Amino acid sequence: MTQPVLSAAAAACALCTLNAFAQTPATAGVDPNVFLNQFESTFGKFEGFRRSGAKGICATGEFVGAADARALSTASAFSGRPVPVVVRFSVGGANPKAPDNTRSQRNLALQFNLPDGEQWQLGNISAPVFGASSPQQFFGRLASLQPDPATKMPDAAKVKAFADANPEVLLQGRYFASQPVPASFGAVNYWGVHAFGFVNASGSKQFGKWIFEPVGGVQGLTDDEAKAKGPNFLFDDLRQRVKDGKVAFNFNLQLAQADDRIDSATVPLPEGRRKVNLGLLKITSVAEDGGGACLTITYNPLVLPKGIEPSADPMIAARAAPYAIGLGRRLTEGARQQ
């Protein structure tokens, strides 16, 4: 495969990342190199691949913002004019051969290319919660799962001790166990899991958590169907559905109320919070192979447009540096995703 060259978008994004660092509090928590080393010790090192969301595919999309979104935020993403989007779909985890037919995480990463070089990057997952509420807790969980060199398996006592002391690390796994295997990258919900502030023209800020919900509805597979599909069906399924014009998501925002917790990726907003439609994302093309513009992007949730602000959730800022280090490692090794 050809050596990836940093695209103009990726180069622009490198600047976004620098800007994002400028806004990052100094208390990000865990050294990003140590974090990345722990990913590799726990899950294995797969050269060139993302250390999380390794198996993936690039796509392109178009987003059109809705009038209700303009009332909430001045972000140019919501102008109502079509915005080009660099999309990446992936299967959760560090293993590039992760099977498509198990009850595990799917990801939807987006880069909105906005007027005047502005960008908005969003990394979304197919669960309403993340597996940890702070970088230290996430690091501790990964360390507890590190295989013992003798048995090549995690030490069950260590895993249990950590989870007993940090019960929220089990919530995400429980959610996946309760759901069927997604029938398609285009037929599952993707949550942002963090709260962000939406700032409008009069300066008022509304916090909320977003969800990308498939227009055609959520579709799951029975266990027999999942078995019959085998471990590699998601890429071809996506190409076919996009060719048929069938992959689109409503970008919806659940609005937080005054006493809701908005600083935790393991605590969803209460059921029944008002949901506002921010616009429609249509997927317009899918890469034929492992290449494409998404390959050299790291989707950093601190790359935000004017009109959108991070909440106090410590996990938002904690993602920026490990992603940048991860991008550096995989570019040096020769970036790949299939």
Interacting residues toward ligand HEM by CB under 6 A: 35, 50-53, 56, 88, 90, 107, 109, 123-125, 130, 135, 138, 193, 265, 298-299, 315, 318-319, 322-323, 326-327, 330
Complex with ligand HEM: residue 307 or 326, whichever CB lies closer:
326
**147: DSSP letter:** B
Both structure tokens of 82: 């079509």
Complex with ligand HEM: residue 107 or 252, whichever CB lies closer:
107
The distance of closest approach from Cβ of residue 132 to ligand HEM in the complex, given in angstroms and rounded to an integer, is 7
The distance of closest approach from Cβ of residue 271 to ligand HEM in the complex, given in angstroms and rounded to an integer, is 20
The distance of closest approach from Cβ of residue 159 to ligand HEM in the complex, given in angstroms and rounded to an integer, is 19
Complex with ligand HEM: residue 50 or 336, whichever CB lies closer:
50
Q: Which residues are CB-contacts of 237 (< 8 A; sequence separation ≥ 6)?
A: 183, 184, 185, 186
**Secondary structure of residue 177 in the 3-state scheme:** helix
The distance of closest approach from Cβ of residue 144 to ligand HEM in the complex, given in angstroms and rounded to an integer, is 15
Q: What is d(CA 77, CA 83) in angstroms, rounded to the nearest whole number?
A: 7
Complex with ligand HEM: residue 193 or 304, whichever CB lies closer:
193
Given the structure tokens 């992007």, which residue do they identify?
Answer: 297
Complex with ligand HEM: residue 88 or 241, whichever CB lies closer:
88
Angle at 13 between CA 10 and CA 16, to 5 degrees: 170
Taking the chain, what is the end-to-end CA distance rounded to the nearest angstrom? 11
The distance of closest approach from Cβ of residue 80 to ligand HEM in the complex, given in angstroms and rounded to an integer, is 27
Both structure tokens of 213: 């919900």
Q: What is d(CA 319, CA 125) in angstroms, rounded to the nearest whole number?
A: 14
Radius of gyration of the chain (CA): 19
Complex with ligand HEM: residue 74 or 111, whichever CB lies closer:
111
The distance of closest approach from Cβ of residue 245 to ligand HEM in the complex, given in angstroms and rounded to an integer, is 24
Q: Which residue is nearest to ligand HEM (CB)?
A: 53
